[in-house]
Amino acid sequence: MIINRLKYIKKSLVLFLSYMKDYRVYQNASLIKKHEDVEGVHSLGLIIRLYHTIEKGLSVKERRYEFSMDHIELLQKKMMTYCGDKNEPHFLSAFKTLGIYFSIHEKIECSKRFNAQARIFENLKKKYGKTEIGGGTKSVKKVEYPNRIETIEILKKRHSIRDYDGEFLIDKQDIIRVIDLAKLCPSACNRHAIKIFYSLDKHKNSEILKYQNGSRTFRDNVPGLLIVASDLRYQEGVEERNLGYIEGGIWLMSLVNSLYLNGFGSCVLNWCVSPSHDQDFKTAFGIPEYYQISALISFGKQTEDQKVPYSIRCKSEDFIEKVEL
Tens-level pLDDT at each residue, the chain (325 residues): 788 888 899 999 989 999 999 999 999 988 887 776 677 788 899 999 999 999 999 999 888 999 999 999 999 999 998 888 888 999 999 999 999 999 999 989 999 999 999 999 998 888 877 778 889 999 888 877 778 888 889 889 999 999 999 889 999 999 999 999 999 999 998 889 999 999 999 999 999 999 999 999 999 999 999 999 999 999 988 899 999 999 999 999 999 999 999 999 999 999 999 999 999 999 999 999 999 999 999 999 998 888 888 899 999 999 999 999 8
Burial 275-289 (b: 16+ CB within 10 A, else e): beebeebbeeeebee
Containing structural domain, residue 71: 31-128
In terms of domains, do 65 and 99 share one?
yes
Task: Specify if 217 maps to a domain.
Answer: yes
Of 128, 161, 183, the domain-final residue: 128
Let me know whether 72 and 164 are in one domain. Answer: no
Burial pattern 154-165, b for ≥16 Cβ within 10 A else e, equals: eeeeeeebbbbe
Q: Is 198 helix (H, G, I), strand (E, B) or coil?
A: strand
Domains contained in the chain, number: 2
Same domain, 112 and 196: no
* Domain-located, residue 184: yes
Can you give the CATH number for the domain in which 257 is found? 3.40.109.10
Shared-domain flag, residues 88 and 153: no
How many Å apart are CA 136 and CA 154, to the nearest integer? 35
CA distance to 185, 197, 257, per residue, from 263 (Å): 19, 20, 10
Tell me if 66 is assigned to some domain: yes
| 179 and 252 inside one domain | yes
Question: Do the domain assignments include residue 171?
Answer: yes
Predicted pLDDT at 21: 92
| Contact in structure between 230 and 294 (CB atoms under 8 Å) | yes
> What pLDDT was estimated at residue 39?
74
In sequence order, what E strands does the chain have? 194-199, 224-231, 265-270, 291-300
Nearest-10 Cα torsion for 15, 29, 51, 142 = -40
Is residue 311 one of the residues assigned to a domain? no
Same structural domain for residues 157 and 123? no
Q: How far is CA 168 from the centre of its chain?
A: 29
Residue 316 has what pLDDT? 95
From the number of C-beta atoms within 10 Å of its C-beta (0-12, 13-18, 19+), residue 229 rates as buried
- Indicate yes or no: pTM above 0.85: yes
Are 298 and 205 in contact, with CB atoms under 8 Å apart?
A: yes
Q: Which pLDDT score, from 0 to 100, does residue 145 have?
A: 73
Same-domain check for residues 122 and 244: no
Amino acid at 100: I
In a domain, 319, yes or no: no
Question: 119 lies in a domain?
Answer: yes
Rg of the chain, C-alpha, whole Å? 24
pLDDT of amino acid 242:
93
Q: How far apart are CA 175 and CA 261, in angstroms?
A: 12
